[in-house]
Amino acid sequence: MKNIVIFASGGGSNAEKIIEYFANSPVARVVLVLSNRPGAGVLFKAESHHVPTLTFTKEELENGWVLRHLQAFNPHIIVLAGFLQKFPADIIAAYPHKVINIHPALLPKYGGKGMYGIHVHRAVLENNEPESGITIHYVDENYDEGNIIFQQSIALADCATPEEVAAKVLALEHEHFPKVIEKLLTE
Ligand code: GAR
């Protein structure tokens, strides 16, 4: 049985889909959800599924405190699902090729600092892009720049607002993210 650890900053709809997908899986289960935001919706979602949670400060993320707690959970994969802080180099170095992130656009376009959530979808629409999509990639020390594992695109012809793009992209994330994690854990 493999251990999945999730970092998230927000509502945690992706985290919840992953928890549910693996709830009765013989492959893996979610053993810990961490957040930098004490009131984040993801923490309530995790608790409602009886998944342990941990919150931390920026300092604790950067001074090795979070890494020490992670080690106790023996993660086989570390999943960033809407985690909006820079991920520290010591955790990336301790878990090479085991930290992955989901981004709500087709990288390398619309990535980098400040490109998260609705900001991404607004920029995509402002540039009249015919399509957008999702990217799942390994995390390195730069924002949104690690090797790409999986991409899926969708047409934007019927989307007039960033919120409509967001809803379409989020549905795509929910559909694919758990399956990609499972594939990485079994290959
Ligand atoms: C997701 O759309 C994810 O791709 C995005 O945050 C959202 C979190 O939603 N991540 C980024 O923008 C990272 N740059 P959720 O909390 O409902 O899972």
Would the CB of 112 count as within 6 Å of ligand 1? no
Q: Considering 103, 121, 137, 176, which one is annotated as catalytic? A: 103
Residue 182's SS3 state is helix
Cα(156)–Cα(130) distance, rounded to whole angstroms? 6
How many domains does the structure of the chain reveal? 1
User: What is the predicted pLDDT for the residue at 36?
Assistant: 98
Handedness of CA 92, 98, 99, 101 (dihedral sign): positive
Residues 16-75 have pLDDT tens digits of 999 999 999 999 999 999 999 999 999 999 999 999 999 999 999 999 999 999 999 999
List of E strands, 61-165: 77-80, 99-103, 131-138, 148-155
Active site residue 103: yes
Distance of CA 178 to the CA centre of its chain: 11
Strand 148-155 with 131-138, pairing: antiparallel
Query: Ligand 1, from 7, 116, 164, 181: best to mutate by most atoms within 8 Å of Cβ?
Result: 116
The tens digit of pLDDT for each residue in 74-111 reads 999 999 999 999 999 999 999 999 999 999 999 999 99
Residues of the domain holding 75: 2-186
CATH number of 46's domain: 3.40.50.170
